[in-house]
């Protein structure tokens, strides 16, 4: 399904732009080379689903170490929703993530994911807003995206900046009682550059003639 885009001033245009910028293989190789003691070499993949999966724009994501591309340490499903003044990204997990490892690079694996394979992470959506030539995003308000880690119940703080060719992210887990950081980077955000684009796989759902 492809509908032409004739009104670039609408928020739907921002939705399409965000999706096209997200769609790709991002690497922090440059950051790792400059500071190998602080940063491992990581790839973040965002691979678009066909329109039919969510009746809209959705992604499968993987985060993997460069030396072991078939063993992702984080996988997710993401549904993008136009909410007028911002773009809302619902987050889902896979019930059996190992079964779908490599789906970001092998479309035959991606095609085996269905709605029975996933479950919604409530209170863990991301909210993105356009800021000039970038999008800035963070976890929805409320500190209710809870993640148990290292014997603590923590809430997630996630901050993202996205441009056409870069993805910078900082994830931290904060103790729900003391608000002290329990896990996540203490050296600053991970800074990724796009190595391959999958933008041509993003369905243009904007309205126009």
Among the four given CATH numbers 2.40.128.590, 3.90.1300.10, 3.40.309.10, 3.40.50.1000, the one describing domain 11-196: 2.40.128.590
Cα distance between residue 23 and residue 199, in whole Å: 5
| Maximum CA extent, the chain | 56
Write down the pLDDT at residue 84: 84
Q: Are 46 and 23 in contact (CB under 8 A)?
A: yes
This prediction's pTM: 0.90
At 25, list the tokens.
């293989």
Cα distance between residue 70 and residue 158, in whole Å: 25
Write down the pLDDT at residue 206: 59
Q: How far is CA 14 from CA 9, 43, 92, 107, 170, in A?
A: 8, 25, 22, 26, 23
Strand, coil or helix: what is 119?
A: strand
At 124, list the tokens.
């863990």
Q: Are 26 and 192 in contact (CB under 8 A)?
A: yes
Residue pointed to by tokens 């965002």: 46
Residue ranges in the chain whose pLDDT is less than 50? 1-10, 207-209
Write down the pLDDT at residue 9: 37
List pLDDT tens digits, range 171-186. Answer: 999 999 999 999 998 8
DSSP, res 53: H
**Structural domain boundaries of the chain?**
11-196
List pLDDT tens digits, range 68-78. Answer: 999 999 999 99
């Amino acid at each position: 399904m492809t509908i032409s885009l004739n009104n670039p001033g609408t928020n739907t245009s921002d939705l399409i732009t965000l999706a096209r910028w997200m769609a790709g293989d991002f690497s922090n190789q440059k950051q790792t080379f400059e500071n190998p003691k602080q940063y491992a070499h990581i790839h973040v993949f965002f691979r678009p689903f066909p329109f039919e999966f969510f009746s809209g724009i959705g992604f499968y994501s993987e985060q993997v170490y460069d030396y072991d591309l078939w063993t992702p340490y984080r996988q997710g499903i993401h549904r993008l929703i136009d909410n007028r003044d911002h773009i809302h990204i619902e987050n889902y997990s896979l019930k059996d993530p190992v079964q779908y490892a490599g789906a970001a690079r092998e479309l035959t694996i991606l095609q085996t994911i269905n709605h029975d394979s996933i479950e919604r992470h409530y209170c863990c959506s991301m909210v993105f807003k356009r800021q000039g030539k970038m999008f800035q995003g963070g976890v929805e308000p409320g500190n209710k995206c809870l993640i148990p880690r290292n014997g603590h119940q923590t809430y997630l703080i996630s901050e993202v900046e996205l441009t056409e060719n870069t993805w910078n992210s900082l994830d931290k887990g904060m103790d729900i009682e003391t608000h002290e950081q329990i896990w996540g980077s203490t050296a600053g955000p991970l800074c990724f550059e796009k190595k391959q684009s999958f933008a041509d796989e993003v369905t243009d759902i904007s309205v126009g003639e």
